[in-house]
Copies of this chain bind each other. A is one copy, B any other.
Amino acid sequence: MYSYPLLLRQITVSDPFWKREMDLVKESVIPYQWEALNDRIPDAAPSWWMHNMRAAARAIAARKAGKYTPAQKLVPIVTELEKGKPALSDAFYGWAFQDSDGYKWLEAVSYQLMRCPDAALQAQAQEAVDAICAAQEEDGYLDTFYTIIDRSKAFTNLKDHHELYCFGHLTEAAVAWRQATGQDTLLNAARRFGRCISERFGPGKERGCPGHEIAEMALFRLYEETGEKEWLDLACFFLDVRGTEPSTFALEENRRRKEQGLPELPVTADRYAYYQAHRPVREMSEAVGHAVRQMYLCSGMADAARLTGDKEMLAASKRLWRSVTGEKLYVTGGVGSTHDGEAFSRPYDLPSDTAYSETCAAVGLVFWARRMLQLEPRGQYADVMEQALYNTVLSGMALDGKHFFYVNPLEVDPSACDTDRRLSHVKPERQKWYGCACCPPNIARLLSSLPAYMVTVSQDTAFIHLYIGCEMTVSLNGEELKLKLDADLARDGKASLTVLSGKANGKIAFRIPAWTKNAAIGSDGKKKTERDGYCILEGEWTRGDTVQIDFPMPVRLLAASPLVRETSDMLCVARGPFVYCAEEADNGKPLHTLRLIPEKAAEARVDRISIENRDVPAITIPGKRIKADPDAPLYDDWTTPQAYDTDIRLIPYFAWNNRGRGEMRVWMHRM
């Protein structure tokens, strides 16, 4: 009934655009991030990852030897550090969730090793695995923050500290590492930590759930990898305890308040919307709070619906999908429009200049969309997955693989960012490494596992969701087929699927992208039906069978729903899966005086531009520019604006800010 993603080894990406991205991760991002995890990048914020792992191992050894004294409190240590004192070898530094950075890196490495073995890289990763295992306590507990600072406080602040979050990332890495290397070491570490958690939390035990979700989806994955039902149960427990009353977060807060002699707060859930713990998940219908958390929760909910057949969970997942994609999604596939809490704002509040649109939230949306596709293959899920992937996810990383955006605005004026504290979260240039470096390794692990998002297979059907050129081995009704997909959407919408070898009876379903019209899919003698956004070809597939695909990819002008106030009467340009933007480098400034002319869309010219030695698609479209005279009165009787003809030069959104500082703009007014 349900579909499963192809295993990474079943698929080899050959697509010129995406292979380059995946290679970049391998050749640039992963080595760079290893240096970052080891605090060896000059002029970048330290990660402290390896430091903390080693300090935790030392703390454990010292405790065994009876020589452990709880480390100094966190804040004074950091203050000392700011005063220029050297780091203390036994102290914890950085954010409480910093352990996860290395886990994400290790997950990415694992996927790359599945793509292509690499002994040197594997040895480097083994160093990380060893460091992690050495930091695990005897009872399985594995979180350097509490191990270093004060183990007795473990699990007392699930809301704000991130043990369960780190557990989730550890588990994701552990499953990937086993799949890549066949080694159980890290998986066993994750299991031991998991048991340490499940001994404390669960039905009849302590109530509690992650302040930052991810443990849910990780536990479902651990269950799928090991078949051990305890992980499924723990994940379902975390989902169902969430948002119920008495609120576990409120109870936690009250325990702390009691220690401080403060009066207790009501144990209602309503003040925990930031954590999606304001109501039971089965009752949710609006995406709220911290966007990454919401995306990870939704991913876990979709897993639960699939693995348990829970209809309520499915219905809630679909309501949340509707809330996000119908009311709260940027055209670039970004989510979370306000910096206040890195969060979802109210419906249709999608400002361009103050956007948050965190890279990690777009990554999370891709995770969730794939899981919805596993629940039910509907084109809309893949459309949104593609939208996030080709635009905001890629925008998070520079073409050099060494600079990253955390926030992905749709409109930037660097001089405003420099001086306006309302824009303090918007960086006009990608940064080298963040103190809170969640995004770079999240991009790395997603891009390295791209095949898992491209195709899913059920008993009798292979669903092709993304048109990324590749070779793949699929099984239809137990019979294997080797297929080759030729595609390069960064050029055009022509593609073909060829059976390289094998023979099977069954269906291959081709997603018809929402961005095309008059899609042509050569049926080649197969029975052809259409359903839920897929063109399904059914029959016997044998070597040499070829399906010709033509998705016309004209330059499109998109408009947002009139309910989106900020983009009223504006247009943006898209072609295929790419959303385009104008940059100051090509168009001068200010960009807001440019005007698109709907009638001229047909005159748009598509060509290529070289940015950072990379050949990317570009569009030139005849437009207008409003004449702006700084000496004219600030307000005057309206007259038809004076405008002159100009070519508007556009590049894909993901490629912006690879040519230095400058204005950038996705949405443009129309003439």
Contacts and interface: CB of A to CB of B under 8 A. Distances in A.
A415 interface: yes
Interface string A660-671: 000000000110
B422 A628 contact: no
A416 B349 contact: yes
Nearest to A561: B634
A671 B641 CA distance: 14
Contacts of A331: 635
A435 B248 CA distance: 37
A641 B562 contact: yes
A590 B561 contact: no
Interface stretch (A365-373, A519-527, A552-560, A644-652): A552-560
A593 B338 contact: no
A512 to B, nearest CB: 15
A628 B562 contact: yes
A558 B637 contact: yes
A557 B641 CA distance: 13
B420 A338 contact: yes
Given A346-B419, A420-B340, A638-B598, A628 B569 contact: no
Contacts of A564: 634
A81 interface: no
B634 A329 contact: yes
Interface in A534-560: 556-560
A590 B564 CA distance: 10
Given A422-B338, A669-B568, A326 B634 contact: yes
B562 A626 contact: yes
A219 to B, nearest CB: 32
A327 interface: yes
Contacts of A256: none
Contacts of A568: 592-593, 626, 669
Contacts of A339: 422
A560 B421 CA distance: 25
A262 interface: no
A630 interface: yes
A98 to B, nearest CB: 27
A637 B557 contact: yes
Contacts of A327: 630, 634
Interface in A569-597: 569, 571, 590, 592-593
A556 B421 CA distance: 36
B635 A560 contact: yes
B422 A635 contact: no
A331 B637 CA distance: 12
A120 interface: no
B422 A354 contact: yes
Interface string A584-621: 00000010110000100000000000000000000000
A563 interface: yes
Interface in A404-426: 415-416, 419-422
Contact of A571 (B416, B422, B558, B638): B638
B634 A560 contact: yes
A40 interface: no
A627 interface: yes
Q: Chain copies in the assembly?
A: 2
A421 B598 CA distance: 37
A590 B563 contact: yes
Contacts of A635: 331, 558-561
A147 interface: no
A345 interface: yes
Interface in A143-185: none
Contact of A557 (B326, B627, B632, B638): B638
A628 B563 contact: yes
Contacts of A598: 638
B558 A638 contact: yes
A367 to B, nearest CB: 20
Interface string A347-363: 00100001000000000
A626 B558 CA distance: 16
A245 B129 CA distance: 59
A633 interface: yes
Contacts of A325: 634
A569 B594 CA distance: 11
Contacts of A257: none
A73 interface: no
A636 interface: yes
Interface in A26-80: none
A565 interface: yes
Nearest to A632: B561
A345 to B, nearest CB: 7
A627 B630 CA distance: 36
A641 B561 CA distance: 10
Contact of A561 (B340, B422, B560, B628): B628
A237 to B, nearest CB: 31
A56 B665 CA distance: 58
B422 A559 contact: no
Contacts of A561: 628-630, 632-635
The interface centre, meaning the residue of A349, A568, A629 with most chain B CB atoms within 10 A of its CB, is A568
A421 B340 contact: yes
Nearest to A327: B634
A667 to B, nearest CB: 11
19 contacts: A327-B630, A338-B422, A346-B415, A422-B422, A556-B637, A557-B638, A558-B637, A559-B635, A559-B641, A561-B629, A561-B635, A562-B593, A563-B590, A563-B593, A563-B630, A568-B592, A568-B593, A569-B569, A598-B638
Interface of A: 325-327, 329, 331, 338-340, 345-346, 349, 354, 415-416, 419-422, 556-565, 568-569, 571, 590, 592-593, 598, 626-639, 641, 669-670
Counting from the closest, the 3 A-B pairs by CB-CB distance are A562-B628, A559-B638, A562-B626
Given A326-B631, A327-B630, A568-B592, 14 more contacts: A326-B630, A326-B633, A326-B634, A329-B634, A339-B422, A346-B419, A349-B416, A556-B637, A559-B638, A561-B632, A561-B635, A562-B628, A568-B626, A568-B669
